[in-house]
Amino acid sequence: MDSATALQESILDNLKSRKWRAGHRIPTERSFSEQSGLSRATVRRVLAVLKERGLITQTVGSGTYVSAHIAEALAATTDGGPAHSASPAELMSARLALEPAIIDMVIGNANSADFERMHECCNKAEAATTLEDFERWDSLLHEVIADSAHNSFISGVFRLMNQARSDAEWGTLKRRSATPERRLEYQREHRSLVEALQQRDAVRARELCIDHLVHVRVNMLGN
């Protein structure tokens, strides 16, 4: 593996492991150059490839950041696998089994930075002007909650579930079932869930989580 490829794989590892999350400012070209021994021109080409794939964004005078759409961009780099072969019904069954089950771990391990990210996802979802943007921040909220358990295996499982949510069949069902009224209901449910988690109320948070997922399942699948 040449040095440029090694640098690209190193950056990808940080993105896939969620060490660098959406909005995270990554090192400068100069820093990468010093760390890898590559010229800044080569580093720039590596970053250009990642930017083209939608993994990072660059702002003149500000820096290079992990894309807000990182989950979808990473999903697009995979070849399929179990996440992309799961039906919406299978995904909802998995979510109902797994998401309430990690509530105790989230409440036990979440810190102030985790709650800030949850509120940020709620804010961005509520401000979204398109269904696609709303769904992006909706899915990221559930992933952020899972990350708050601070267990790398659980985080990996939830990233797979979010990859499944990028599947075309899921998107079609979500668009078909979406109404302004339902979106407002989801937003209220998200806020209530985050508040219960922040209050360390495991019983309430678990009830809200189950109610929300059942609500989504009924709206999308009819049962």
The Cα–Cα gap between 180 and 26 comes to: 36
* Position 116, amino acid: E
Instruction: Please indicate, yes or no, whether residues 85 and 31 belong to a single structural domain of this protein.
Output: no
**Domain enclosing residue 189, as ranges:** 81-221
What CATH number has the domain bearing residue 197?
1.20.120.530
Angle between helices 40-52 and 3-16 (to 10 degrees): 40
pLDDT single digits (tens) 126-163: 999 888 788 888 988 998 999 999 998 888 888 778 77
Residue with tokens 């998200």: 190
User: What is the distance between the alpha carbons of residues 73 and 75, in angstroms, rounded to a whole number?
Assistant: 5
Residue 154's SS3 state is: helix
Encode pLDDT of 25-55 as tens digits. 999 999 999 988 999 989 998 998 888 888 8
Are residues 192 and 152 located together in one domain of the fold?
yes
Tell me the per-residue pLDDT of 59-109, one tens digit each, with 9 for 90 and over. 888 889 998 888 777 776 654 455 555 688 888 999 999 999 999 999 999
